[in-house]
Structure 1
Amino acid sequence: MTQPPPQDDTLAALHQLTKELKVLNSHRFITVQNSVIRGVVFQFVRGLAFGLGSVLGATLLVSIITWWLSHLDFLPIIGDWLVQLANEFERAASGQPAINQTTQ
């Protein structure tokens, strides 16, 4: 059987636990979460950053994939379509109006 710790060890452990709890309560995350308004603002800014990062990441990924696929000229139908798609992207980036396919 284990013997209960001496009274001095228990008090020292309790003081150490109290000290660590004070450090934890002064942490920035806890201080933000203690206020409803600060919590809402923090989550709103976090959501904006996540949304912006998602949009920029998806845009970059689609651009790279489209560029890479536009260089696949060995596929007769898909290669022509991707070259035409890349030309449309370049035309849109330069500010030129789109060409209507029915008038060609």
Structure 2
Amino acid sequence: MPTSGTNLPAALQQGSMLDFDRFTMTTHTIHQLDSTMTEHDIVFEIETDRGMYLGRSDKVDDTAHLLPRGMRFEVVSAGQGRYRRPDGTIGRRMIVQLRDITGVGKAS
């Protein structure tokens, strides 16, 4: 699991806050991003209970989710992470772990 985010901009360092102002497509498995990313792209691992499941994982390898607009995240950690692809090969990515803090501290 990621532990340190060396060589990342200040906005992606531990304790930083990120705001997502648009709907954001996501997936549960990193390998589903392989066809759309370069080796230099960063993956966000997001801890949240929000979003709408759009996938068809019962029939195909598809775990797509859509996150709502206006989400705020805290950077928890960052570093190189490993993941196993369906064919058994190992992939590596820079992973930035985010925690959803949308609405934390706001009065209801």
Tell me, yes or no, whether TM beats 0.5.
no
What TM-score do you get using the length of structure 1 for normalisation?
0.19
- The structure that has the greater radius of gyration is 1
By relative contact order (CA 8 Å, sep 6+), the higher-ranking structure is 2
Structure having the larger proportion of residues in strand:
2
Structure having the larger proportion of residues in helix:
1
